[in-house]
Amino acid sequence: MATYDLRGKKTLITGAGSGIGRATAIAAAGVGAELFLTDINGTGLAETVDLVGRAGGTVSHSLPFDVSDFEAVTAFADDIHAEFGSLDVVMNVAGISAWGTVENLEHRHWKSMVDVNLMGPIHIIEKFLPPMIDAGRGGHLVNVSSAAGLIPLPWHAAYSASKYGLRGVSEVLKYDLKRHGIGVSLVVPGGVKTGLVQTLQIAGVDRDDPRVQKLQHRFEKRAVEPSVVADAILAGIAKRKYLVYSSNDIRFGYWVARKFAPPYEFVLQKANDQFSKLLVPRRVEGSSKSTSSVRAPGPE
């Protein structure tokens, strides 16, 4: 795929009310993207919209809601598509975090991680990618996972369940969407200086314990600013890169984890190409265009 330019592209960013999402919104506006923003925190989202506007950027639509609420995502998507048509770039940034050993984690921890970090992006993908495909202009999908979606970090079982899941979705879509000219980037930050550091839930741990505070301080020293991740995301989109790192320690750690793994990208792409031959044209409602879909099994 050729270099992708965000200038004038209709770009959705979730989690835009703070941290990586806000930094990415400001960076994308700086290169001329037309923004569509959301965050569960309405106050933070309004602040981001104001910051983008003062910097000369364009926010065409913004709305606070929870991405884990499928009905809210559906209403948001319907409103955007009715007024603005399909989008060009979709960035799933919104996320939450909780750590803990399995004997300390509660059901609510597991469920909230999957609901927000995995089902949230799936809801966005489900509602925004099919119209992007039908428009036939190509585009780009960004999913922000984590180092914990690459490497089995201690106490991260619930968090990694969501982030490894998002990585799996992203890797499949990397191949599935290629024939539509849609690139996919999986962002895998290490430590980032966001509000998650302060609000992080650690089940079974006293946050006031000096040892825990020391560990948190070490984490914060190694963490990068959200703007660093935002710049990496924009560079990844421009270069159509799949894996996007924000720090070399995670890049090295993942290289060590997979250095003996056999190359498989070629095989996966060939397999996907073969599966694509099973597709039959699908008529796009209200258009003379047709795209491809799988014929459902059953009687003719």
The residues annotated with a catalytic role in the active site are 159
| 75, 52 Cβ separation under 8 angstroms | no
Report the 3 state secondary structure along 97-143.
CEECCCCCCCHHHHHHHHHHHHHHHHHHHHHHHHHHHHHCCCEEEEE
Give 3-state DSSP helix, strand, coil % of the chain, rounded to 5: 50, 20, 35
| 149, 169 Cβ separation under 8 angstroms | no
CB within 8 A of 175, min separation 6: which ones? Answer: 268, 269, 272
- CA dist 216 and 212 (Å) reads 6
Q: What is the secondary structure of 167-193 as a DSSP string? A: HHHHHHHHHHTGGGTEEEEEEE--SB-
Angle 41-39-7 (CA atoms, 0-180°, nearest 5)? 140
